[in-house]
Amino acid sequence: MFEKVLGLPVHVLVVHAVVVFVPLLVLLALAYIALPRFRSRLDWAVAILAVIAPITAFVGVQSGEALQQRQIARGFSGEILEKINQHAEYGDVLFRFTVGLALAVILLLVANSGHARVPKLPRWVSPVLSVVVVGLGVAALVYVWLTGHSGSEMVWGTTFD
C-alpha cells in the first residue's frame, strides 16, 4: 500500500506534503496563539492542519519503511544503510512530535472555544497549552529539517552549505 504510485515510490511523493503541512501547522498555530483577535478566522485552518499534518507524517514514515525494506532487499548495506537508518529515526521522531503537536493544538482550540460543552477551565490552561504548542512546534520544525536534510543528502550526495 505504501510502496508505489504510478511507478514512483510513495515516499518520494509524500515527503513534500510533510515538508509543507507540518511547518504550516506550526506557523498557523503560532499565529493562533500570538494573534487572539484573529482566532475565529484561524481556528478552522489550524484544526484541519492538526489532522492533515500527522496523517502525512504517518504516511511518510510507513512509505519510508517500505522503501527502506525494498533497498535492503536490493542489497543496500554499509554506510548508505546507516544513513537510511538515521533518516528513518529522524522521521520516526518527527512523526511523534507532529502527533503531540496536533493533540496539543486541538486541546488549545477546545480550551479557547468558549463552547457551552467545554467546562470552565482554570486560567492557566490556555497559557500552558500555548507553551507546549510552541515547544512541540519548534521540535517538529527541527526534525522536519533534520529528516529532510538527511534524505536530500542521501539522494543528491552533497550538502548545500
The pLDDT tens digits for 32-58 are: 999 999 999 999 999 999 999 999 999
Confidence grade of residue 116 (pLDDT, cut at 50, 70, 90): confident
Taking the C-alpha atoms of residue 64 and residue 54, their distance in angstroms, rounded to an integer, is 15
How is residue 89 written as a grid cell? 529515526
Residue 21 lies in a domain: yes
118 found inside a domain: yes
Residue 13 placed within a domain: yes
Give residue 119's pLDDT band: very low, low, confident or very high (50, 70, 90).
confident
Q: How many CA atoms lie within 13 A of 14 on its CB side?
A: 24
3-state secondary structure (DSSP) of residue 9: strand
Q: Is residue 161, in this structure, part of any structural domain at all?
A: no
Q: In the predicted model, is pLDDT for residue 1 greater than 70?
A: no
Mean pLDDT, the chain, rounded, equals 91
Query: What's the grid cell of residue 50?
Result: 492538526
User: Do the domain assignments include residue 147?
Assistant: yes
Q: Which domain holds residue 47?
A: 4-156
- Whether 39 is in a domain gets the answer yes
* pLDDT tier at 103, thresholds 50, 70, 90: very high
Q: What is the pLDDT of residue 158?
A: 61
Please report whether residue 80 resides in a domain.
Answer: yes
Residue 9, beta-bridge partner list: 4
Threshold 0.85, pTM exceeds? yes
Residues 43 and 105: beta-carbon distance below 8 Å: no
pLDDT surpassing 60 at residue 3: yes
Number of folded domains in the chain?
Answer: 1
> Measured between alpha carbons, how far is 84 from 17 in angstroms, rounded to an integer?
20
Q: Is residue 112 part of a domain?
A: yes
